[in-house]
Structure 1
Amino acid sequence: MPEYLSTVNRRRRKSRRTWRTVAVVAALCAAAAAGTYAVGVRPLARGGAGGAPAPDPAAVSQAHAFLADWAAGRRPGAAARTTSPDSARQVLDNFTEGLDIGRPVLTPAAATRVRDGAVTVPFTARMPITGLGTWTYASKLSLGRQDDGTWKVDWALSVVHPDLSPAAKFHLEREEAAAPQAFDRHGKVLSGAALSSLGPALGSPDGGTGGAVGRGSVQLVDRATGRVERTEATFGAAPGTQGGSDVHTTLDAAWQSSAERALAAGVHGRNAGLVALRIDSGEVLALANSPSTGFDRAVSGTYAPGSTWKIVTSSALLLKGAVAPRDTVDCPKHLTVGKEFHNVETSEHPGATFLDDFAESCNTAFISLRGRLGDQELGRVARTYFGVGQDWHVGVPSFDGSVPVAKDETEKAASMIGQGRLQANPLVMASVTATAVSGAFHQPRITGKAEDETSTTALPPAVVAQLRTMMRATVTRGTARILADLPGAVGAKTGTAEVSDDEPNNGWLVAYRGNVAVACVVEQGVTGGGSAGPVIHDLLSANPTDPS
């Protein structure tokens, strides 16, 4: 099935402020330590203060890259940017051991030039501790120019934390407080044991200690004796008090259970995420992850969406009348735009219509239409009509999509088919699907009190009708035929996104039926229809009617 193959550019992962009432659910939902990091680095200031000489931009760039690699969990890459890669790798790997740290955010301050032209970059580290809160502290990087002219971070234990030393390390002491109950949309109690995927989603507060569900502290201890030198940070309610109030969510217990079963049966141990939501309101009915403990891929993941993004690309083209579904848009085997783009198995469809290209997911056809969109048009449509990249307040930490302006024609070609630097996750793509088939964006949410600061424009009814027709054709005669036996007018779009030359592709599938939109990504799934397809098929089969 034609899908573009290009390297995923894993960059900015944005965390969101968590509502206290949602974070409180972590104890009930069996939250576990998050095992994946997300980039949270703001741009570095480059100028010198008070007329002092500005730091070398190359040094500033190296500092930025080090913090980005560390925050993203690319620890070998971060270590390679230091003067002692082996020692740095070992320390970065071991620093969070036993601390239950989730997704750190590293915020650099202005860089300064010091003696001999060396550069210092202070930064603030925010380390979210599962079920407790965020440990915040300050440190700094010192960078020196090497003999070969490059800049390196001068490695020392104090880079990671000023008080980390050969004699002292950090230890997490935890004491759980009483936890409230969480309820689904019908008032049914949600069980953390039965619905384990909720742990990663609801268990990582992102706004300090206000969302704590337990009590605990980070302590500096003597490495040899274990003696506590001092308490570095404390979290949670006072002893004898309850951690918070009962929480009412938008989730549907039946859909949630079905989603977890579908992932467990369908992904064969691979990493995966899934979100189902109501089209008319954006209310999340189910979110599931594989593994069910650890990083919340469904809501906070950052993936190239692959050809599922052709829903947005098609919307941009249809909105300006640049193409119509019945127009002929040839689908050749190859197309060169700075590099060679091709379809999976180098398939071709001479004389195909634009509808055919969508249903069969022809990359070369979509790339051939890139000149009909302005350089910023794809991002503008994504933001204006689909809310992608705006600030969503879902009720849990979320990544809300990113559509950077293409740097050149090659990247613009990649963006047309959901590659390059485009990033999304199942929450984003379920919302995109819901918007495409209804015309109206509704901010996704998991709690009833999540605020909405988004502003979007409705898609014209004619464009919505065309998108629905193309997504339906994808099921009846295209790459999503795995869903063709389901009752109801199911529409869908498959996607495949390459992670690297050495890894199998990620598989994507988005679908809608009635008032439900669903999206699933399976890491190393090879194809969307073959990996995510069976998962969504099982979920819709288990829930043949719309939720109330």
Structure 2
Amino acid sequence: MRGAVKGVVIGGVCAAMLGGAGYGLYNVASALSGGGGTGGGGTASVKSGPPGADEVKDTTARFFAAWEKGDAPAAASYTNYPEAARQLLTAYGGDAHIGKVRVTPGAVTGTTVPFTVRATVSYGGTSRPLAYRSSLTVVRGETSHRPLVDWRPSVVHPELRKGDTLVTGGSAAAPIQAVDRDGRVLTAAKYPSLAPVLDELRKRYGDKAGGRAGVELDIRHAGTGGTGAADTQLLTLVKGRPGKLRTTFSASAQAAAETAVAKYPNASVVAVQPSTGEILAVANNRADGFDAALLGERAPGSTMKIVSAATLIDNGLTSAGGKAPCPATAVWQSQTFHNLTGLRANENATLSESFARSCNTAFVKFADDVSPDSLTKEAEERFGLGRNNWRIGVPSFDGRVPATGGPDTAAALIGQGQVQMSPLNMASVTATATTGAFRQPVLVPLSLDGREPARARGLSSGTVAQLRAMMNRTATSGTAAPTMAGLSGSIGAKTGSAESDGQAKSDSWFTGYRDDVAAAALVQDGGHGIDAAGPIVASVLRNAR
């Protein structure tokens, strides 16, 4: 939006302040209207427990009626956070220019009321209808003991979150028509996971794609103005002229990724082209809308053993055919490490065998031989991780492999401790392992805005040959074999699972390659690598073109 358009913060307000000031405002409004009295000067009985059906019906009817009239203070008085509600409801009719509001409640379930809103947005002599569905819940006030609408921004619109603003006016950036590498149009309607990516691409490159800005009703997210997420468009009043923006995406790979993650909650996947670093697909299936594929920060578990194995090889500690015993347990600085249940110990195992079977203890045993910063240097200097300098075209997390001491030295070798990765990072790791060259992932050409890519030394041909052989063994006869079965061409993979505090199940990780496509997936609380993340990666590798 243009700077002249005023926004209102739709955020959470300090509960301690609202607990006093908010309820105080409600009580004053109630007293003035007579709602706070007891009648005849007697003492009112204090109700407790969830509001009853009649209370839910009466409260929502009063709230909706005031909202429809544009009486923000009155509507806010029926909520448990009246000041925050008043600000948003005032902006709804003011900064957002929304009027002629009609709210139709649906069938009540307990204390939850779904409803439909139909309204009109008018700006600069142009009007457009607006319709959407939302819901609210009625709770009993903590101090007033009255039935109140449990206030949150999503009551006003389901896409509003803490810290958002709602504005109507000239858009901040021209619209874009994003196309894939073959010129096929990419839309959020067809590829839902791309919605935040397309918003960000428009924010950054709308003015470079040759388009003309229009007039819109937008959600402006917290921090927008260079640091926050891009505006989310809700309604177009006057169409701008879109400029064409070519991306590195592959529509076929994106379609495969969207279908694959849809089968698992909290799933994310990224596919890249190892020979170029170009990102082919980004997909998420998360209720919170977070782009974990590009921005996630999770322990990668045993997929990190690709970097760990490279560290051992490059530092001359062992080789693919060298010794890497796999005992039942390994102790490092009083911390005992175990393998997956059912994994048979083998004191004569090679690194290739321990890698393919995902033996934790084999890698932990090398903690005595590596310096605290060996893994960090390998990650940064050869795989390009952890320097916070990737410029892919939209915000991304670049991985974190800090130099550590104590038990974390051993934990880092198996992708636990303080090591953090995203699916994008692990797809890039696999790409580097299979080609030897670190090519910073990109979504749009570097030449579009003169971005300088991150750089790293990459790997020697000897290290690459050993990593490819170990990953191929993992995919054909190791822990990834059941998932990768049936894939033709040059293939390789690595499974992983990572435990996080407070989780009932481990995170499921899997990364793999097939010819010139590398992909990595994360499913939070998904279990073992082959349980959830594996099928996602295999599906993308099978269908990517």
Contact 1:282–1:444 (CA under 8 A) maintained in structure 2:
yes
Offset from partner CA, 1:407-460 (integer Å, 9 cap, x none): x22011110111111111111110000001100011100112362342211311
Equivalent residue, structure 2, for 1:409: 406
Aligned-partner residue type, residue 252 of structure 1? S
- What is the distance in 2 between the residues matched to 1:321 and 1:209? 46
- What is the distance in 2 between the residues matched to 1:424 and 1:246? 32
Contact 1:484–1:490 (CA under 8 A) maintained in structure 2:
no
Contact 2:509–2:522 (CA under 8 A) maintained in structure 1:
yes
Residue 436 (1) aligns with residue 433 (2): yes
Contact 1:335–1:364 (CA under 8 A) maintained in structure 2:
yes
Equivalent residue, structure 2, for 1:36: none
The Cα shift of 1:213 comes to 8.4
The Cα shift of 1:346 comes to 6.1
The Cα shift of 1:239 comes to 8.9
With 317-326 and 495-504 compared, the bigger mean Cα shift is at 495-504
Aligned-partner residue type, residue 522 of structure 1? V
Equivalent residue, structure 2, for 1:485: 486
- What is the distance in 1 between the residues matched to 2:88 and 2:300? 32
Residue 202 (1) aligns with residue 203 (2): no
Distance verdict in 2 for CA 1:214–1:535, change over 3 Å: farther
The Cα shift of 1:356 comes to 0.8
Q: How does 1:118-517 map to 2 (within 5 A)?
A: 172-174=166-168, 177=171, 179-204=175-200, 215=216, 242=240, 245-265=243-263, 267=264, 270-291=265-286, 294-337=289-332, 338-345=334-341, 347-350=343-346, 351-390=348-387, 391-406=389-404, 408-449=405-446, 451-481=451-481, 482-517=483-518
Aligned-partner residue type, residue 361 of structure 1? S
Aligned-partner residue type, residue 323 of structure 1? T
Offset from partner CA, 1:106-132 (integer Å, 9 cap, x none): xxxxxxxxxxxxxxxxxxxxxxxxxxx
- What is the distance in 2 between the residues matched to 1:213 and 1:322? 61
Offset from partner CA, 1:18-65 (integer Å, 9 cap, x none): xxxxxxxxxxxxxxxxxxxxxxxxxxxxxxxxxxxxxxxxxxxxxxxx
Distance verdict in 2 for CA 1:420–1:243, change over 3 Å: farther
Stretches of structure 1 lacking an aligned partner (at least 5 in a row) = 1-69, 100-168, 220-233
- What is the distance in 1 between the residues matched to 2:376 and 2:485? 32
- What is the distance in 2 between the residues matched to 1:187 and 1:477? 39
TM-score by length of 1: 0.62
Distance verdict in 2 for CA 1:236–1:262, change over 3 Å: closer
Contact 1:317–1:372 (CA under 8 A) maintained in structure 2:
no
Aligned-partner residue type, residue 315 of structure 1? A
- What is the distance in 2 between the residues matched to 1:331 and 1:319? 21
Aligned-partner residue type, residue 173 of structure 1? V
Contact 1:274–1:521 (CA under 8 A) maintained in structure 2:
yes
Task: Return the structure number with greater relative CO, CA threshold 8 A, min gap 6.
Answer: 1
RMSD: 3.7
- What is the distance in 1 between the residues matched to 2:420 and 2:178? 31
Contact 1:185–1:250 (CA under 8 A) maintained in structure 2:
yes
Aligned-partner residue type, residue 189 of structure 2? A
Secondary structure of 1:246's counterpart equals strand
The Cα shift of 1:97 comes to 9.1
Distance verdict in 2 for CA 1:262–1:421, change over 3 Å: same
- What is the distance in 2 between the residues matched to 1:285 and 1:365? 35
- What is the distance in 1 between the residues matched to 2:232 and 2:490? 49
Distance verdict in 2 for CA 1:380–1:87, change over 3 Å: farther
Offset from partner CA, 1:180-201 (integer Å, 9 cap, x none): 2111101111122111110122
Contact 1:505–1:527 (CA under 8 A) maintained in structure 2:
yes
Distance verdict in 2 for CA 1:87–1:489, change over 3 Å: farther
Aligned-partner residue type, residue 244 of structure 2? D
Aligned-partner residue type, residue 508 of structure 1? W
With 463-472 and 531-540 compared, the bigger mean Cα shift is at 531-540
Aligned-partner residue type, residue 298 of structure 1? A
Contact 2:167–2:217 (CA under 8 A) maintained in structure 1:
yes
- What is the distance in 1 between the residues matched to 2:397 and 2:164? 29
The Cα shift of 1:214 comes to 6.5
Distance verdict in 2 for CA 1:418–1:477, change over 3 Å: same
- What is the distance in 2 between the residues matched to 1:204 and 1:470? 38
Aligned-partner residue type, residue 195 of structure 1? Y
Distance verdict in 2 for CA 1:388–1:213, change over 3 Å: farther
- What is the distance in 2 between the residues matched to 1:432 and 1:363? 19
With 243-252 and 385-394 compared, the bigger mean Cα shift is at 243-252
TM-score by length of 2: 0.62
Aligned-partner residue type, residue 535 of structure 2? P
Secondary structure of 1:443's counterpart equals coil
Contact 1:184–1:249 (CA under 8 A) maintained in structure 2:
yes
- What is the distance in 2 between the residues matched to 1:446 and 1:386? 19
- What is the distance in 1 between the residues matched to 2:486 and 2:187? 33
- What is the distance in 2 between the residues matched to 1:263 and 1:181? 25
The Cα shift of 1:334 comes to 1.6
Distance verdict in 2 for CA 1:174–1:496, change over 3 Å: farther
The Cα shift of 1:247 comes to 1.1
Contact 1:197–1:293 (CA under 8 A) maintained in structure 2:
no
Q: Once the two structures are aligned, what percentage of the paired residues are identical?
A: 37
- What is the distance in 1 between the residues matched to 2:424 and 2:521? 9
Contact 1:282–1:431 (CA under 8 A) maintained in structure 2:
yes
The Cα shift of 1:242 comes to 3.0
Contact 1:197–1:292 (CA under 8 A) maintained in structure 2:
no
- What is the distance in 2 between the residues matched to 1:452 and 1:292? 34
- What is the distance in 1 between the residues matched to 2:298 and 2:414? 13
The Cα shift of 1:281 comes to 0.6
- What is the distance in 1 between the residues matched to 2:410 and 2:278? 34
Contact 1:176–1:214 (CA under 8 A) maintained in structure 2:
yes
Residue 540 (1) aligns with residue 538 (2): no
Secondary structure of 1:364's counterpart equals helix
- What is the distance in 2 between the residues matched to 1:87 and 1:499? 38
Equivalent residue, structure 2, for 1:156: none
- What is the distance in 2 between the residues matched to 1:333 and 1:355? 18
Aligned-partner residue type, residue 478 of structure 2? G
Contact 1:443–1:452 (CA under 8 A) maintained in structure 2:
no
- What is the distance in 1 between the residues matched to 2:372 and 2:365? 14
Distance verdict in 2 for CA 1:85–1:422, change over 3 Å: farther
- What is the distance in 2 between the residues matched to 1:448 and 1:325? 37
- What is the distance in 2 between the residues matched to 1:492 and 1:309? 12
Q: How does 1:523-538 map to 2 (within 5 A)?
A: 523-538=524-539
- What is the distance in 1 between the residues matched to 2:356 and 2:366? 16
The Cα shift of 1:289 comes to 0.6
Distance verdict in 2 for CA 1:191–1:204, change over 3 Å: closer
